[in-house]
Structure 1
Amino acid sequence: MWRGALTELIATAFLVFTLTSSVIACLDSQEVDPMLLVPFVVFIIFFLFLIMTIPISGGHMNPILSFIAWLEGHATFARASIYVIAQCLGSIMGFLIMRNVMDHQTASKYFLGGCTIDSNGAASAISRKGALILEFSCTFLLLFVGVTVAFDKKRCKELGLAMVCGVVAGAMALAVFVSITVTGHAGYGGVGLNPAKCLGPALLEGGILWHGHWVFWVGPFLACIVYKGYSINLPKE
């Protein structure tokens, strides 16, 4: 368990550092519609991290996945709790690295890659209620498409590790694509899908990143509870 927790800490730190800096690079590029590049970046990065971490820790790197793993009986409460703590610490580490290496002007422009809903009301693209619904919906999409396959031992054996990682990473990229195309505004950065990723910048930068921060926790965890109710009726191996 402790080896898994250490893996979760390190993997989460470098996941948020790599993913956030890459997404900011896409948004800051000269492409006509850089948001179309973001889902591809999300897919590639998550696929690489998943295929490396799944054999060691289960490849959670996200409190949502640790929580649903506990609800589904694939992890004990103690393991899930330690993983969540490791993921939150890893997020802080990753964003500390990014804050020290990224250009200050770029970091300020994108709020260090943190999860935002509005810019003090001036650039609001979505209400907190709308953001909550989107967080819930996109998280459920991730669970329905990706986690359903990942937790099915028979299908995992049939598909193989690489294909399972591809399905989960694809579900993540699809959820991100849906969220940024639905809103498509700088005031809302799209779904967080990872409360730990939202927590790191909020603790380091504060300010606007705390506005509606609860949405990025409540929406995904509520989706996990609803998914658990749905999965009870699924056939078990």
Structure 2
Amino acid sequence: MSRILRDSALELLLTFWLMFGVTTIVRWVIGPSPVSRMIPQIQVELLIVGAAVGILIAGLILSPPGRITGGHMNPAISLAMWRFGVFPGAGVIPYIVAQLVGSVLGVVIARAVWGPVVAEAPVAFAVLQPAPGWSAVTLFVAETLSMAAIVLVVGVCLAVPRLAPFVPWIVGGAIGLAIAVLGTSTGGSVNPARQFGPAALSGQTRFLWVYLLAPMAGALLATWLRQAMQRRRSVLTHRLCGTHRDGSALSGVTR
């Protein structure tokens, strides 16, 4: 088996755990539970969900599989790393397919573990929907700009060896902030894989194309902006853990 296929299989596993974790968090914080009864305000619930998901993402990036694959768990990140020149083009499609399959499997197993409540409102397989009044265009712009901001920050940090080790927490914190701030408006997805499994299983696919394409557009926008700027440093690795494949610290040489 080639390295790309092995790494793609690990990306599937990572995205599986991400979506199993996300669905579990939504089930217990927003779905009927002692936690949701104690905290009836949706804004507070989203703050808790954002913090928990952010920690989960950072943990998966820093896990042994995450250190091997790069811990992308997000098609937009894989696309951005290819455009930054640190991830092989031949790996983009296998990674994306693995991430989408992992998304579906994670939600399926969460449904099997936690029961029918996962399929019922307000959990509804943890699917995201924009707030009433949000059009596809405004949702697309919000998701695009949110993803572009994240990719720009990640690109800057992965180009500076002393900042690279903070990337897992920067990514986790950024996603958590997006959930807490945008949860009641856009859902704060910024990840096609985050929405794919829940939408496929819930049947709520009206805005799915936006959630799939807007983060990809944001990734392309961010990489274009970085290339357009007179930057002095290039991105050194596609691994969000901020190290080379062998675990060694970044030193200014891409591996």
**Which TM-score bucket, shorter chain as reference?**
0.7 to 0.9
Are 1:135 and 2:143 counterparts?
A: yes
Matching residue of 2:162 = 158
Q: Decide whether aligned partners of structure 1 residues 115 and 147 sit closer, same or farther in structure 2, where only a CA change above 3 A counts.
A: farther
SS state at 2:87 partner: coil
- Between structures 1 and 2, the one with greater helix share: 1
1:69 Cα shift?
0.9
Structure 1: segments with no counterpart, 5+ residues: 119-123
1:145 maps to 153
- 1:60-79 correspondence to structure 2 within 5 Å: 60-79=72-91
4+ residue segments displaced more than 4 Å = none
The residue that corresponds to 1:170 in the other structure is 173
Match of 2:130 among 103, 106, 117: 117
The more displaced of 103-112 and 93-102 is: 103-112
Corresponding letter in the other structure for 1:66? S
CA contact (8 A) 2:110 2:118 kept: no
1:43 to 45, 54, 57: 54
TM-score normalised over the length of structure 2: 0.79
Task: Report the counterpart of residue 219 of structure 2 in structure 1.
Answer: 224
Contact 2:191 / 2:211 at 8 angstroms: preserved in 1?
yes
2:194 equivalent to 1:197: yes
Q: How does 1:6-45 map to 2 (within 5 A)?
A: 6-28=9-31, 29-30=36-37, 31=39, 32=41, 33-45=44-56
What is the alpha-carbon root mean square deviation over aligned residues? Answer: 1.9
CA contact under 8 A between 2:46 and 2:179: conserved in structure 1? no
Check the 8 A contact 2:152/2:226 in 1, yes or no. no
Alpha-carbon spacing, 1:92–1:57, altered in 2? closer, same or farther (3 Å): same
1:180 positional shift: 2.0
1:51-110 Cα deviation digits (max 9, x unpaired): 114420011111011111111111111111111111111111111101222232442202
- Counterpart for residue 121 of structure 1: none
Amino acid paired to 1:111: A
Deviations 1:124-158 (A, max 9, x none): 25222221122112112221223431x31xx2x32
Conserved 8 A contact 1:91-1:197: yes
CA distance in 2, matches of 1:225, 1:164: 19
Task: Report the Cα distance in structure 2 between the residues aligned to 1:205 and 1:180, rounded to whole angstroms.
Answer: 18
Judging changes above 3 Å, is the alpha-carbon distance between structure 1 residues 82 and 210 closer, same or farther for their aligned structure 2 residues? same
Contact 1:146 1:171 in 2 (8 A): no
1:213 aligns with 2:224: no
TM-score calculated relative to the size of structure 1: 0.84
How many percent of aligned residue pairs carry the same amino acid? 26
State whether residues 194 and 216 of structure 1, in contact with CA within 8 Å, keep that contact through their aligned partners in structure 2.
yes
The total of aligned residue pairs comes to: 219
Distance in 1 (alpha carbons) for counterparts of 2:103 and 2:46: 23
